[in-house]
């Protein structure tokens, strides 16, 4: 039995990519194809560039497209909207964004250089790529957020790690040095006895590997008979702690990835808007 | 001249008592008002500055004391002034006993005796808090309320109890006092989740000392002795606040000779239209007879004095009656009497009860052919036929006529489910449509009404839902031996392997069916909603047969129990019923053979039942495979609901790919609606449970909701939508004004596009579903 069936059966399997049979993908493919064919048929005076009739027209379309993409930030917060769902708007946003990465070079006649015009294109591409990056994260990482699946929040797991550590410390208290040595070994493998939930170390840290079995066996063999059971409990407890540390790292990484791309996507899109305005001003008014 | 001192003694100076005393003083009748505490005790005990509402707004006030919506202090001042200027005779004493003597009553008080010809009992229920039950419980520093936490500074306070009142008091006091909390158990199972969390935090932080598994043994002036598991502790303490709940002082009332309508704990004293109890000359008013609203109580106080003086008094609600009956020709009084004579079901209601029923009801004059309600409508009112005739249309061929004096709509009334059939007027009819709450109140106080309804409930449940093929007269015979039994959530109807001897018809609620798998673990298989039968498999053979599964109440259930012989008789006499039952049994047998139900499905079913999905009519679920945790659903809710989100995504529970946020389930049987004084909670025809503006902020629904989805909040102005200020976090929140009111999900009834949470989800993870379909899918796919 696949639990996904429970939900899948009832909700149509539309995602923000496939919304209504990929209607926005098809619309943007159509738009792009029409502009490509026109570009191919167009015979401007001189080389194709942004200043031809074709260039101005496609430039107007691209500018309107960018305005529409920027409007998503407003639409997302227009909670009273009754005409569209946010999912549908996001579908249009995603596919139009991808399409613009082709439409804009058509507008420029593939003329790039060290100038404000190309800066605008570069900024746009940063926004588009970061957007694709984010969309792929949305599509693939959502199901990995364990706290959404009854797995406990980051705070819960950190607390469990502390409890696990307390249990381990209690286990070795007033026991032989040999047992303490096993404890020191596992602590060292886990990067210290106290787990400190530092954001960066959780984000960048590697998942803790299994304890080296040979070293463990050597250490366990030294234990007095009376403590051999304690030794096994200690290793089991440490392994549980290791598993918890990996879980919390995974959760923090997943949650961070779902947001981190926005720190590029949003500021650069604002910069893009400014660059586009300068680009338009330069083209029409600047007579330097 | 009788030997008694007064014409009337009024006991209790709450609203009813003050209404009575002021009128007696006005008439210059010899009277005494006995109160052990303060004038206007009911609201004296409210927290300082609390706004008191004057519900019901339309009912005229009839009294010599003023009463309008206002602060606690304003109202108390108005009452005290009125009582003083009228020269009412107030005696501050506690009443110990009331005895009959010749020519009246003897009232033994803490400061002597009083005799009076008539006694008016208006002591309410708040004045009877459950006491500590230990020596010293009556010492002056033991109180049962906390009106002004600010009045306590630097004291050693002990709060007793583990409910919300105790927790709230302890928390309010712990910043400026040394507070201890005495708990019989170790936890706070009865408290709201938020309160439980707050008190645990305060205890952990060392702000409150928590005595667990402890009982008080005695109270002394400066010390209180507590028995803990580790032995007795003497705690220094100069104030004790006991919050152990209130009780209807039934023992005291019965000792006075007053009869009750039934043994039910919710039953109230029987009184006639003049508020006179079964003891002549002893009158009972207000909350004691089920009128918790202040205005009702004041009016009753006024009227009872007029009755005692022998004055004709038109009830205060006569204007409302006249208004209600204005479309019917004739003198309203006569019309009312005519209506009453047509409805034998309400024969045993008192005049006051019947008038209240009519005032709360709607009168319909309908022509032949008009539809009263449609099948699957969500209305839950109760209809009585004053004249004309209607027909219940179960199907095109099957229409059951109902004549004058009878009633219909009772299934929706008790089960809280959709209407099971369309009802159409067949002869021009005058109908009385009464609200569910009003009927339930009457059922609790008038036993004959309950009996009559029970029989019809059972008959119609069998007739319409369970055995529609059976002959109606046959069923009528059958129910004479049938019993009704209620099961609490989690209670077992029967266990796998038990010998089957009865059939259960689920009339209300739903049950889960579970079987042991090969490893012996009990695995949930499916659930059975109201209107179906369980337990039929073991009854089909003559010999004793074991139950093939365990059946547990998934929510509170009402069942009808038929014996094995009655059921077999039914099958013998009705071949079509037999055929259908056989089909049902075969289907269930096949299921049992085929299924080695996956445990995961069972776990998911159990999870959803625990989270109230089986209760729900419409629930917000989040598909974790799609949820990116952006919380735009909460932001949308906040923005469309005056700055306060009614859903808490993270606070809810989740399993596998299903998250159930803390959000209204729009339950089939909404517990929040049970005890709403202004009836502000209501269910719309399409199933939504909403809170109307008439909410008075009493918090009953907050306490009654098992899923913690209702909160008391202050209104904030509508955000409208996107704004740069709100984006930058600069929009200012307005100051909190007026009383906090109950708020919860209303499924965005004002937005025609549907719930904002779902519309604002960028990935389509948030969805609203009717869980019945969901569960059927789960159980089918699980095999």
Instruction: Give the pLDDT mean for B310-336.
Output: 86
Indicate the average pLDDT of chain B: 82
Residue B277 CB contacts under 8 Å (≥ 6 apart), including other chains = B121, B257, B258, B259, B269, B270, B271, B283, B284
In which band, very low, low, confident or very high, does the pLDDT at B1 lie, cut at 50, 70 and 90? very low
Is the separation of the CB atoms in A99 and A131 below 8 Å? Answer: no
| Helix locations, B262-331, DSSP H | 294-308, 318-324
* C-alpha span between B685 and B616 (Å, rounded): 15
Query: What is the model's pLDDT at position B135?
Result: 87
Q: How far does the CA of residue B526 sit from the closest CA of chain A (Å)?
A: 14
Estimate to the nearest angstrom the gap between the alpha carbon of B402 and the chain centroid. Answer: 31
Please tell me the total number of residues recorded for chain A in this structure. 288
Tell me the shortest Cα–Cα distance from A189 to chain B, in angstroms.
32
Q: Among the ranges A264-268, B381-385, B553-557, B564-568, which has the highest mean pLDDT value? A: A264-268
Report the pLDDT averaged over residues B116-122.
Answer: 93
With CA atoms as reference, the chain B residue closest to A82 would be B753
Closest CA to B478 of B494, B501, B504, B455: B455
To the nearest whole Å, the CA of B751 is away from the closest chain A CA by 7
Which stretch of DSSP H or E encloses residue A101? helix A86-108
d(CA A96, CA B437): 56
Q: Do B760 and A148 touch (CB under 8 A)?
A: no
B-chain CB neighbours of A141 within 8 Å are: 628
Number of Cβ within a 10 Å radius of residue B307:
18
Nearest 5°: the CA angle A256, A260, A265 is 160
Helices (H), B108-173: 164-173
* Residues from chain A contacting residue B756 (CB–CB below 8 Å): 79-80
Q: How far apart are the first and last CA of chain A?
A: 71
- pLDDT score recorded for residue B591: 64
A10 close to B776: Cβ distance less than 8 angstroms: no
**Chain A interface, Cβ < 8 Å to B:** 1, 3-7, 9-11, 14-16, 74-83, 85-87, 90, 138, 141-143, 145, 147-150, 153, 255, 258
**Nearest residue of chain B to residue A137 (CA atoms):** B628
Residue B633 pLDDT: 93
What gap in Å lies between CA A271 and CA A265, rounded to an integer? 10
Count CB neighbours of B546 within 10 A.
13
List pLDDT tens digits, range B292-319: 678 889 999 999 999 999 888 887 888 8
pLDDT for the residue A28:
97
pLDDT in tens, A149-159: 888 888 888 88
pLDDT in tens, B173-214: 888 888 999 988 767 766 666 777 888 888 877 888 888 778
* B599 to chain A: closest CA residue: A1
Residue A194 has pLDDT above 80, yes or no: no
Would you call B752 and A82 a contact, using CB atoms and an 8 Å cutoff? Answer: yes
Confidence check: pLDDT of A173 > 70: yes
What pLDDT score was predicted for residue A121?
Answer: 95
The H or E element containing residue B180 is: strand B178-182
Cβ <8 Å between B756 and A16: no
Higher confidence at residue A165 or residue B725? A165
Q: How far apart (Å, rounded) are the C-alpha atoms in residues B174 and B149?
A: 10
For residue A192, pLDDT beyond 60: yes
Nearest to A180 by CA among A189, A170, A194, A190: A170
Amino acid B168: pLDDT: 79
pLDDT at B183: 86
Distances (CA, A) of B530 to B292, B414, B417, B527, B604: 33, 12, 9, 10, 21
Q: Are B626 and A142 within 8 A, CB to CB?
A: yes
Once rounded to an integer, what is the mean pLDDT over residues B274-289? 89
Least CB–CB distance from A142: residue in B601, B628, B635:
B628
Nearest to A149 among B654, B752, B774 (CB): B654
Q: Is the peptide bond before A47 cis (omega within 30 degrees of 0)?
A: no
- Contacts A–B by Cβ distance under 8 A: 135
Distances (CA, A) of A84 to A75, A88, A89, A94, B23: 10, 7, 7, 16, 64
pLDDT level of residue B717 (50, 70, 90 thresholds)? low
pLDDT at position A3, please?
A: 35
CA distance linking residue B399 with residue B397, whole number of Å: 6
List the beta bridge partners of residue B227: B215, B232
Q: In this complex, which of A3, A81, A86 lies closest to B762 when CB atoms are compared?
A: A86
Q: With contact defined as beta carbons under 8 Å apart, do B522 and B516 qualify?
A: yes
CB-closest option in A78, A148, A149 to B721 = A78
Strand partners, B218: B225
Chain A's closest residue to B621, CA to CA, is: A7
Q: Does the pTM exceed 0.90?
A: no
Is pLDDT of B731 > 70? no
Q: How many residues does chain B have?
A: 783
Option in B639, B764, B778 nearest A87 (CB):
B764
| Cα end-to-end distance, chain B, whole Å | 87
Q: Among A4, A77, A150, whose Cβ lies nearest the Cβ of B625? A: A4
Residues of A within 8 A of B626 (CB-CB) are 15, 142-143
Which chain A residue has its CA at the smallest distance from B721's CA? A78
Q: Which residue of B has its CA nearest to A134?
A: B628
Minimum Cα–Cα distance from B656: chain A residue: A149
Task: Work out the minimum CA distance from A49 to partner chain B, whole angstroms.
Answer: 38
For range B393-397, the mean pLDDT: 80
> Vertex B213, ends B207 and B217: CA angle to 5°?
95
The answer, yes or no, to whether residue B411 has pLDDT greater than 60, is yes
* Residue A245: C-alpha distances to residues A144, A203, B405 (Å): 16, 12, 73
With CB atoms and an 8 Å threshold, state whether A145 touches B627. Answer: yes
Which of A1, A81, A147 is the closest to B601 by Cβ? Answer: A1
Res A268: pLDDT: 97
- Rounded to the nearest angstrom, the minimum Cα separation between A40 and chain B is 37
Strand-pairing partners, residue B179, are: B157, B208
For residue B499, the 8-state DSSP code is B
- Whole-number pLDDT of residue A136: 95
Q: Rounded to whole angstroms, what are the CA distances from A171 to A213, A221, B521?
A: 21, 18, 34
B590: pLDDT strictly greater than 80: no
Region B115-133: what's the mean pLDDT? 83
Give the mean model confidence (pLDDT) for residues B423-445: 85
Chain B residues with beta carbon closer than 8 angstroms to that of A255 = 629
pLDDT above 90 (res B291) = no
Name residues whose C-beta falls within 8 Å of residue B532's C-beta, 6 or more positions apart in sequence. B466, B505, B506
Out of A138, A141, A149, name the one closest to residue B656 (CB).
A149
pLDDT score for B728:
61
Interchain contact, B629 vs A145, CB within 8 Å:
yes
Maximum average pLDDT range among B20-24, B166-170, B244-248? B20-24
Lowest-pLDDT choice from A276-285, B638-647, B737-746 = B737-746
d(Cα B464, Cα B455) in Å, to the nearest integer? 14
How far B495 CA sits from the closest chain A CA (Å)?
27
Q: Is the pLDDT of residue B493 over 90?
A: yes
Burial class (CB in 10 A: 0-12, 13-18, 19+), B521: exposed
Which residues of chain B have a CB within 8 Å of the CB of A136? none
Q: Tens of pLDDT along B691-714?
A: 888 888 888 888 888 888 998 887
Average pLDDT over residues B482-508: 86
Does residue B781 surpass a pLDDT of 50?
A: no
Alpha carbons B161 and B181: distance in angstroms, whole number: 7
Average pLDDT over residues B486-511: 86
**Best A17, A70, A80, A252 residue to mutate vs chain B (most B CBs within 10 Å):** A80
CB contact under 8 A, B625 and A142: yes
DSSP-assigned states of every residue in A121-138: HHHHHHHHHHHHHHHHHH
Strands B142-143 and B239-242, bridge-based pairing: parallel
Question: Coil, strand, or helix at residue B381?
Answer: coil
The answer to whether B652 and B663 have CB atoms below 8 angstroms apart is yes
**Confidence band for A2, pLDDT divided at 50, 70 and 90:** very low
CB contact (8 A) between residue A82 and residue B760: no
Q: Hey, are the CB atoms on A79 and B654 less than 8 Å from each other?
A: no
Which residue among A16, A74, A78 places its CB closest to the CB of B762?
Answer: A16
CB-closest option in A14, A77, A150 to B727: A77
């Amino acid at each position: 039995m696949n639990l996904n069936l429970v939900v899948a059966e009832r909700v149509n399997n539309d995602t923000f990519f496939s919304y209504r049979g990929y209607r926005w993908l098809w619309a943007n493919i159509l738009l792009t194809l029409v502009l490509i064919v026109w570009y191919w048929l167009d015979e401007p005076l001189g080389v194709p560039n942004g200043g031809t009739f074709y260039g101005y027209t496609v430039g107007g379309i691209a500018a309107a497209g960018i305005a529409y993409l920027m409007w998503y930030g407003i639409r997302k917060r227009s909670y009273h909207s009754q005409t569209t769902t946010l999912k549908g708007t996001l579908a249009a946003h995603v596919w139009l964004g991808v399409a613009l990465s082709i439409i804009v070079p058509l507008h420029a006649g593939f003329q790039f250089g060290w100038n404000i015009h190309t800066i605008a294109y570069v900024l746009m591409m940063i926004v588009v790529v970061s957007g694709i990056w984010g969309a792929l994260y949305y599509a693939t990482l959502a199901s990995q957020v364990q706290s959404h699946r009854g797995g406990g929040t980051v705070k819960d797991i950190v607390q469990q790690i502390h409890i696990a550590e307390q249990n381990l410390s209690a286990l070795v208290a007033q026991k032989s040095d040999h047992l303490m040595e096993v404890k020191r070994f596992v602590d060292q493998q886990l990067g210290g006895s106290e787990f400190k939930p530092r954001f960066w170390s959780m984000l960048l840290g590697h998942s803790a590997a299994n304890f080296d079995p040979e070293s463990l066996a050597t250490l366990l063999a030294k234990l007095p008979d009376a403590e051999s059971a304690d030794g096994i409990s200690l290793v089991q407890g440490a392994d549980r702690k290791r598993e918890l540390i990996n879980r919390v790292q995974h959760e923090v990484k997943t949650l961070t990835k779902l947001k981190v791309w926005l720190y590029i996507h949003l500021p650069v899109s604002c910069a893009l808007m400014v660059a586009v305005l300068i680009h338009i001003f330069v083209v029409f008014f600047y007579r330097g | 001249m009788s030997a008694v001192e007064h014409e009337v003694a009024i006991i209790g100076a709450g609203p009813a008592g003050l209404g009575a005393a002021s009128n007696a003083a006005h008439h210059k009748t010899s009277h005494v008002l006995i109160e052990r505490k303060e004038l206007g005790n009911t609201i004296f005990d409210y927290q300082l500055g609390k706004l008191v509402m004057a519900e019901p707004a339309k009912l005229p006030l009839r009294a010599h004391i003023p009463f309008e919506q206002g602060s606690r202090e304003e109202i108390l001042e108005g009452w005290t002034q009125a009582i003083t200027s009228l020269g009412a005779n107030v005696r501050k004493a506690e009443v110990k006993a009331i005895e009959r003597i010749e020519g009246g009553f003897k009232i033994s008080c803490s400061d002597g005796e009083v005799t009076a010809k008539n006694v008016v009992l208006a002591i309410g229920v708040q004045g009877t808090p459950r006491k500590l039950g230990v020596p010293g419980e009556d010492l002056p520093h033991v109180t049962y309320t906390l009106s002004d936490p600010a009045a306590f500074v630097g004291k050693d306070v002990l709060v007793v109890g583990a409910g919300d009142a105790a927790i709230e008091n302890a928390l309010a006091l712990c910043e400026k006092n040394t507070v201890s909390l005495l708990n019989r158990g170790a936890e706070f199972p009865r408290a709201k989740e938020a309160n439980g969390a707050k008190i645990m935090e305060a205890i952990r932080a060392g702000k409150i000392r928590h005595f667990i598994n402890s009982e008080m043994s005695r109270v002394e002036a400066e010390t209180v002795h507590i028995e803990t598991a580790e032995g007795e502790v003497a705690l220094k303490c100069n104030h004790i606040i006991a919050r152990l709940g209130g009780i209807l002082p039934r023992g005291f009332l019965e000792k006075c000779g007053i009869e009750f309508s039934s043994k039910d704990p919710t039953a109230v004293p029987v009184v006639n239209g003049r508020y006179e109890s079964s003891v002549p000359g002893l009158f009972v008013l207000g909350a004691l007879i089920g009128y918790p609203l202040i205005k009702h109580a004041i009016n009753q106080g006024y009227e009872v004095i007029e009755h005692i003086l022998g004055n004709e008094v038109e009830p205060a609600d006569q204007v409302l009656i006249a208004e209600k009956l204005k479309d019917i020709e004739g003198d309203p009084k006569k019309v009312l009497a005519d209506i009453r004579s047509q409805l034998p079901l309400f024969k045993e209601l008192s005049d006051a009860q019947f008038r209240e029923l009519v005032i709360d009801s709607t009168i319909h004059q309908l022509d032949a052919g008009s539809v009263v309600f449609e099948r699957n409508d969500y209305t839950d009112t109760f209809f009585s036929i004053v004249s004309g005739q209607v027909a219940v249309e179960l199907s095109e061929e099957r229409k059951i006529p109902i004549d004058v004096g009878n009633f219909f709509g009772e299934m929706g009334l008790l089960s809280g489910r959709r209407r099971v059939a369309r009802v159409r007027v067949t002869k021009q009819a005058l109908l009385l449509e009464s609200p569910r709450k009003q009927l339930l109140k009457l059922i609790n106080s008038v036993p004959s009404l309950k009996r009559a309804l029970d029989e019809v409930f059972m008959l119609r449940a069998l007739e319409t839902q369970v055995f529609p093929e059976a002959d109606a007269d046959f069923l009528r015979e059958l129910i004479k031996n049938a019993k009704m039994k209620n099961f609490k959530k989690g209670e077992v109807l029967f266990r796998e392997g038990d010998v089957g001897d009865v059939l259960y018809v689920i009339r209300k609620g739903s049950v889960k069916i579970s079987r042991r798998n090969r490893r012996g673990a009990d695995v949930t298989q499916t659930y059975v909603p109201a209107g179906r039968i369980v337990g039929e498999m073991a009854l089909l053979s003559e010999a004793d047969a074991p139950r093939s599964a365990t059946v547990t109440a998934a929510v509170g259930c009402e069942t009808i129990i038929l014996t094995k012989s009655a059921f077999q008789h039914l099958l013998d006499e009705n071949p079509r019923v037999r055929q259908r039952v056989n089909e049902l049994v075969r289907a269930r047998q096949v299921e049992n053979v085929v299924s080695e139900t996956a445990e995961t499905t069972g776990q998911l079913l159990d999870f959803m039942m625990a989270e109230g999905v089986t209760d729900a009519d419409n629930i917000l679920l989040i598909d974790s495979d799609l949820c990116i945790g952006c919380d735009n659903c909460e932001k949308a809710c906040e923005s469309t609901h005056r700055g306060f989100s009614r859903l808490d995504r993270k606070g809810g529970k989740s399993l596998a790919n299903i998250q159930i946020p803390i959000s209204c389930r729009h339950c089939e049987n909404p517990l929040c609606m049970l005890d709403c004084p202004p009836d502000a909670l209501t269910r719309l025809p399409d199933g939504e449970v909403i809170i109307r503006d008439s909410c008075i902020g009493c918090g009953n629904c907050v306490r009654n909701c098992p899923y913690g989805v209702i909160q008391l909040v202050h209104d904030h102005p509508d955000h409208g939508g996107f704004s740069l200020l709100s984006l930058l976090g600069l929009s200012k929140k307005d100051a909190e004004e007026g009383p906090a009111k109950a708020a919860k999900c209303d499924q965005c009834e004002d937005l025609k596009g549907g719930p904002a949470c779902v519309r604002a989800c960028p990935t389509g993870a948030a969805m609203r579903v009717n869980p019945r379909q969901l569960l059927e899918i789960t159980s089918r796919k699980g095999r």
